[in-house]
Structures are given as C-alpha cells and as structure tokens.
Amino acid sequence: MQPENGRWRDRSVLVTGAGGFIGSHLVEALIEKGARVRALVRYNARSAIGALSELEPDQLRSIHIIHSDITDPFAVRRAVRDVDVVFHLAALIAVPYSYIAPASYVTTNVVGTLNVLEAVRECEIPRMVQTSTSEVYGTARYTPIDEAHPLQAQSPYSASKIGADAVAESFHRAFETPVAIIRPFNTYGPRQSARAVIPTIASQIIAGRDEVQLGDVRPVRDLTYVTDIVRAFLALAENDGCVGRTTNIGSGAGVAIGQIVRQIAQISGRPDVQVHEEAERLRPPESEVMELVADTSRARETLGWEPRIRLEEGLTRTVEYVAANLGRYDVDRYAT
C-alpha cells in the first residue's frame, strides 16, 4: 500500500476558501503531504490572505495563492483548470449576517458553487469535494442525525447551503460529475474567528471578563477538532464510495453551549465566570437550531474515519491559541 503522504505527493489541488479557518488547515496538511496547492482567496484591495497568513513563510512560498471570487465563472474556470482535486470550501458562513444580507448568501453559496461545479465538469477534473454544514438539518427530529434526516432551512445561511448541496447532487446525477459532499458538524480549533462560539467564550474569559456575553446557552452541538475534520476531507477525496453521496463528520456526542462555557472556564482557571444572555446575540425563535449530534456510521464504515482529539484536549489547545493571540479578538464587539 502506498504511504499516506505518497497519495498526495505532486498532485495538483485547488482549495477554494483557503483563507478561512478550515481551509487554511487543509492547505497546511496538503503542503505537508507534498501536494502542489492552489489556494483561492477572495480578492480584496489589501491582498489579505486571511488565516493563511499564520502559515510558516516556507509553507506560503510553496503554494500558488489566487486572489479571485467564486461568483465569477471565468475566474473559477481559470483556477480549476488542470488540477486533480478541487476542495470547495469558499462560502459565506455566519448565520447572523445571513439575516442581514440573504441575497449575498445565495449569490456566493449557491451560484458560486454552481460555477465551481460547471468548471469541474467542463475541465473534467477527477474529483471535487463540496463542503456542506450540519446547519442544513435544522433542529433535530431525531438523534443522532444520519444523512437521511430531513433538511430544514431555519436561516438564510442554511437555505443557501441546502441549495448548494442540491446543485452538487444534481451535477452528479445529470452529468456524472465526480463530486462528494462532506457535511461537518461544528468544527473548532486554532485560527477560528470570534464569529464562532468557542473563541467568543475563550477570548472573553481570557480577557478577564467576569461575565461572558452570549446568546442562548441551551443549544447542543457536536464538536470536532479541526485536524480531525481535515483528515476527513482528505479521506473523502480519496474514496470512490463517497462520490455522489453525503457523509456526516462529527464526534457523535452532544454538548450544550452552557457546558462548553464551564469547561473553558475551568481550563482557563476562572471557574466562577458567569454568563449574560445578550438579546443581540439571540437568533429569531424559529431560526435557532437546538440540537445537532451526528450519526457518523457512514464515515466509519466507508472511510475508516474516527475523531482522534478528545474535547478536553481540543479545547485546551484552542484556549492556549486564543490566549497567545488575544489581540486578534475584539472582546468588546459582537462579531456577526
């Protein structure tokens, strides 16, 4: 059997959304495995590359950074041409901002995904991995949630991701496009922005707040450390049995937001921290997703994948990262 790193050595790979939290870790893993990486980041006037800026200088020099936009089909086609695998992670992902600008979510997440799929089809790329989200399930009708669970659009964000996944499925059925859909449940770890709940909690506690400002602390989430998620991306891209199918990736265990606060407070040495429910941070009542816990049977059986990093270890690593980079987090502002 070929060594794990050998499967990726000298293969040409495009990662869209490479400047994001998961995207940057995926790029880093591909570099370590010897892949030739094109990293597509959204164009901006400052030439900022997001979380990729945290890679080592020699790692950055080894990748081809493309400043572009997935909503432009011509630019997408140029980026996709002649690669072996496309990992499509580019998306607008913040649920709160989707209430403010829903049309931009449809444009980026649905039309952008259509552009990537069409380019993959026209250029005859051997494999594409489409990134979904557990938010498409809405509040669970049953747990653990398997891939047959009904999809429920409880926010404009989740609606746009349901649409993007449906387009991917249609391309496989209509054109035999070799696309596999990965559906991660909640991912956490170093480099994640304050838009996400774990860095929001950790940054406020580490900054010395006696009272953490949060939304509803009752929702239950299934948390998986980012390096485990990256392993799943790589495994999915290599497995023919995942083509044309959706695969859940998660820990299979649920934890309430309030419990996460207590665990982070203990890790940070501040067990007496209190929580204040801030109205601005609450989702509309019918939009809140109360429980997401993954059934990962398909991932175990098809990929042989299971998470390796336990929650306590992952939270400890994340807290250490936030403490070392506290200046990057504005604890006085709600990040939508």
Please report, for the chain, the start and end positions of each structural domain, with discontinuous segments joined by +: 9-190+224-252+292-309
Q: What percent of the chain has pLDDT over 90?
A: 95
- The CA-atom distances, in angstroms, between 136 and each of 117, 158, 253 are 20, 5, 18
Q: Which residue has the higher pLDDT, 3 or 287?
A: 287
Q: Could you confirm whether domain 9-190+224-252+292-309 is CATH 3.30.450.20?
A: no
pLDDT one-digit tens code per residue, 212-266: 999 999 999 999 999 999 999 999 999 999 999 999 999 999 999 999 999 999 9
State yes or no: pLDDT of 3 exceeds 80.
Answer: no
Mean local confidence (pLDDT), 286-293: 95
Region 138-142 average pLDDT: 96
Partners of 186 in beta bridges: 223
The pair of structure tokens assigned to 221 is: 């989430």
Residue 303 contacts residue 235 (beta carbons within 8 Å): yes
Computed over every residue of the chain, the mean pLDDT equals 96
Which residues are bridge partners to 16 per DSSP? 40, 88
pLDDT of residue 335: 81
Report the SS3 class of residue 212. strand
Residues 102, 150: Cα–Cα separation, whole Å: 22
Q: pTM (2 decimals)?
A: 0.96
